[in-house]
Structure 1
Amino acid sequence: MQRRTFLLGSAAILLLPMPSIADTGIRATLYKNPQCSCCEGYADYLRQNGFQVDVKPTNDLAEISRKAGVPTELEGCHTMFVDGYVIDGHVPVNIVRRLLTQKPAIDGITLPGMPMGSPGMVGTKTEKFVIYAVTKDGKAPTVYATE
């Protein structure tokens, strides 16, 4: 009788839904231009790396970035908010994870433009990525990481 109970209990456990990576992932909200497809590629890249990404098309991307502390000349192609930080552009996931782990006293990070070979972009990486730390207090951006 014990063997039968064990087998039935084991079968019941196997039938329970298992949490997926998405169920335990870091939540992020990504604002993008409605016509931009590389932003969707970046969101997919983050999802493949365990993030839960809510994509919100907007025509006010520059204003969202500005209010978040990202200088115009350092804007990326989309603006994302995660765990109280702004992340602008195609920042590699290892840099995003470092930011979320270290929790520095900044408002966020940005990878300006749309560099070839960056996550979500097509092509081969042709240059070093320079990711800047930004703040809303008017201080000049500083280099946060290079890759």
Structure 2
Amino acid sequence: MMRVLSHAAVAAALCFPAVAMAATPVINVFKSASCGCCSAWVEHLKTNGLSTRVTNVDNPSDYRERGGIPTALGSCHTGMVQGYAIEGHVPAKEIKRLLSERPKARGVAVPAMPLGSPGMEGPRKDPYDVFLVHATGRTTVYKHYN
């Protein structure tokens, strides 16, 4: 009996990575139809292995508000994934980190539209912060980019 359980456990462990990859969460992105940088950010997410579902809306800030992200951290689009709000040009790496660490938070945000952030690439690259918005509404720097 013990040998059968051991083989079953090994089989399950070997199959788990395939199951995990098949269950990639979908980021629901809410943006205006005319925003090119939002579309470029969505392409950044896809290029980095994240799945998206894009919905063009009249007022993307409504979704930021629903996600509990303060207005001061606003940008041009909002994503929602697994109970977290993703505001603005957040790098895919930080979204993956958020989903891996699962902090008690409302989500992450990159305020405004900093040059050099994903979707805002160009000849200039400004430093910017990715903020973690805690469940209390307090923010801390989750990652600084130069």
CA contact (8 A) 2:85 2:108 kept: yes
Give unmatched runs, 5+ long, in structure 2.
Answer: 1-17
Query: Could you say which residue in structure 2 is the equivalent of 1:60?
Result: 59
1:122 aligns with 2:125: no
Structure whose CA Rg is larger: 1
Please report the TM-score for the alignment, with normalisation by the length of structure 2. 0.77
In structure 2, how many angstroms separate the alpha carbons of the residues matched to 1:84 and 1:114? 23
Contact kept, 8 Å, 1:26 with 1:50, in 2: the verdict is no
| Deviation digits for residues 18-38 of structure 1 (CA, Å, limit 9, x no counterpart) | x9xx96543111000121011
Residue in 1 aligned with 2:48? 49
- CA deviations 1:91-110 (Å, max 9, x no partner) are 11111111111000001000
2-structure distance, mates of 1:102, 1:79: 20
Conserved? CA contact 2:67–2:80, under 8 Å: no
Distance 1:95 1:124, change over 3 A: farther
Report the CA distance shift for 1:44/1:23 in structure 2 as closer, same or farther (over 3 A).
farther
Relative to structure 1, the CA distance from residue 136 to residue 64 in structure 2 (aligned partners, 3 Å threshold; closer, same or farther) is farther
Corresponding position of 2:6: none
Out of 139, 142, 146, the position equivalent to 2:140 is 142
